[in-house]
Amino acid sequence: MVMPRGVVLLAHTVATATGVTVYQHAKETATANPVRKIVYMLQSMQKKVGEEAEHTEDLHTKFMCFCKGNSANLAASISSDQAKLPQLTASIEASVSGKEQLDADLKSHLKDRNAAKKSKVVATALRKKEKSAFDSELKDSQGNLAALTKAIAAISNGRAGAFLQSSSATVLKGLVTETQDMLSADRQELVAFLSGDQSEGELAPGTDEIVGILKQMKETMLANQKQMVAEEKAAVDSYQGLMDAKSKQVKALSRPIESKTKRIGDLGIDIARLHNDRDDTAGTLEQDQEFIANLKENCDNKEKTHEQDKKMRAQELLALADTIQILNDDDTLELFKKTLPSASSSFLQMQSTSESLRTRAQAVLSLAQKSEKSSGSRHHLDFILLALRGKKVGFERVAKLIDELVATLKEEQVDDDNKKEFCGVQSDQVHDKIHGLAASVSDFEAAIAENKDVVANLAEDIAALKRGIAALDKEVAEASAQRKAEKSEFDSLIASNSAAKRLILLAKNRLHKFYDASLYRAEKPRELSTEDQIYTNNGGEITTQAPGGIANTGVTAFVQVRSSVSVPPEAAAAYAKKESGGVLTMMDLLVKDLDGEIQEATTEEKNANEAFSKFTVNAASKRTQDSKALVGKESAKADSESALEESAEGRRTKAREFLAAKKYEAQLHAECDWLIQYHDTRKEARASEVDSLVKAKAVLSGADYSL
């Protein structure tokens, strides 16, 4: 620190006034024992080794905590995966078994529904045939009844001749001939009557009997017609009941068919997903087992290395402590004072040698560091052809074979139709599910991207806030240190200037005592200590004053100078009073300068203190706001990271379901594409084959298709 101008002038004045020369020097630093500097360096090395030991121990503790925590987590994950694999296998087996049972049930339901539909078709064809026969028979019965009615009326009215010439008589004659449920005599009599040649109005013998027979026939025919109508109505009612029952059966079977078709599709996707989960779990288990083995090996190696490092560091600390103890001994220091007369040059040489050794050591360590980092039914036709070529096989057997083959082909076609329907339904369902899962995956990916952006932005904001808070704390610390230094400098200045002012006043008063006694002010008696006060109270007399302060004046200042060199005083000249006016004037000027400097320094100190107070208040407010913002940002970041993890887990789940659905879709394509592609071709080929077989059978029965 530069001494205040007033202190320098004061020292010069006091020296001039008292006749004492003051020497300033700074030999303590140059004459300091260089061994102490070596000790300080060793102590610094010792401190650095200790700090490194604490830092290494902290890092090792954290690493071993990591080892233990991750080992426990991995062990729990491995145990969970090992327990999960059999469960997944059992679930797959159960799902496959359930799907097979549903496939069998679905096939049975389809067969029953097709049988019910076939029954409706057969019953409708039979009903149509029966209705046609009934209409024909009813028409014949009505015609016959009309002929009988005309015959009875004509014969009863005596117009038998005209009737026998009409077409109704021919119809009646044919009816009598074909009727089986009448007496032979009556038939002969009627035939003879209907074959006679009577004129109009002329009655043949037995006419009344003829009319009676005809009336009897009419009654019988009416009864038969009534019975026929009743039977037709019963047949219609029976047909309608059968159709209602079969329709209900078809409807009842359609519900489980639709339900089980959907369940089969869902089970197919679940099976594929379970397979994926099992593969993922098996892969994760293998990775965890490998990682935990590597982790154990690394942790054991770290533990061994850490123990070796601790041992080496302990040896180093012991060596440093022993060296310090040797060099820091009082006798050692005293010895080096005697043996190293040129301390400064010796230390510079030692410092240069230390720097050279440090450079070489760094090169060796760098080198060591680098070295350490080192249609399938065509065969049926062949069989039929082979059977036909045989000489001992009859046509009846061939016809039977043809019927069986036709039935088989029709069943195959029904199976193809059912399979095509199943494939269409399953394809639509899995396509819709894949589309929905793809949309879900896309939504999760968008959410993940958005959350990543939010987390990244929040991380940047948090880092910026932390940097700002750290910078603000640094500014406050620097400002506090600067304020402390300024305050210390101010206190030192005030103390120095105050001491200088007091010394000047003391010196001026001393001059007044000699040069102008009227201006002299006697000094206040010295305040006695407790012991001195007791001594004087008991009759003692204190004759000397305790020396102290600058020139035994009792005045002290922060800056003190002394000389270690003894200078002999000058010889005294002849005594004569000196002119004191100039010295006193100079003293007054010095006091005035000191007062001005004190006033200026006090104002600056007040302004600096106010500015520092305002700065600290603003900094505290800013830090509080930034801390609140940091807490909010960190909370939002944690929420965003949680949302990001949830979105990632949702995406993984939907992705697995999507892959399972795609796998099932691929299975459907492999199973159904060929059928859908060749369904019409196979159907036409099968129909052509059936047609050929039917024609072949017809040919065997005598039909001619040559034209």
Look at residue 272 in the predicted model and tell me its pLDDT: 86
The model's pLDDT over 168-207, given as tens digits with 9 standing for 90+, comes to: 777 777 777 777 667 777 777 777 777 764 444 444 545 7
Class for domain 384-487+613-700, per CATH? mainly alpha
Q: Among residues 187, 165, 158, which one has the least CA distance to residue 175?
A: 187
| CA–CA distance, 576 with 596 (Å, rounded to integer) | 36
Contact 301, 63 (CB under 8 A): no
DSSP reduced 3-state for 577? coil
Q: For the chain, which residues score pLDDT lower than 70? A: 1-38, 158-161, 165, 180-181, 196-206, 327, 329, 331-395, 398, 508, 511-512, 514-516, 523-584, 586, 699-707
Look at residue 229 in the predicted model and tell me its pLDDT: 92
Domain ranges of the chain: 35-114+271-363, 116-268, 384-487+613-700
DSSP reduced 3-state for 705? coil
Look at residue 86 in the predicted model and tell me its pLDDT: 93
Contact 416, 678 (CB under 8 A): no
Residue 316 neighbours by CB under 8 Å, 6+ apart: 49
DSSP 288-327: HHHHHHHHHHHHHHHHHHHHHHHHHHHHHHHHHHHHHHHH
Q: From the centroid of its chain, how far is CA 295? A: 25
Q: Among residues 3, 22, 4, which one has the least CA distance to residue 593?
A: 4
Contact 597, 494 (CB under 8 A): no
Q: How many Cβ atoms from other residues are within 10 Å of residue 560's Cβ?
A: 8
Look at residue 382 in the predicted model and tell me its pLDDT: 59
DSSP reduced 3-state for 634? helix
Look at residue 533 in the predicted model and tell me its pLDDT: 63
Alpha carbon distance, N-terminus to C-terminus of the chain: 138
Q: What is the DSSP letter of 391?
A: S
Q: From the centroid of its chain, how far is CA 13? A: 85
Residue 150 neighbours by CB under 8 Å, 6+ apart: 163, 166, 168
DSSP reduced 3-state for 448? helix
In our burial notation (b when 16+ CB lie closer than 10 A, e otherwise), range 108-131 reads ebbebbbebbebbeebeeebeeee
Look at residue 575 in the predicted model and tell me its pLDDT: 33
Look at residue 90 in the predicted model and tell me its pLDDT: 92
Look at residue 456 in the predicted model and tell me its pLDDT: 92
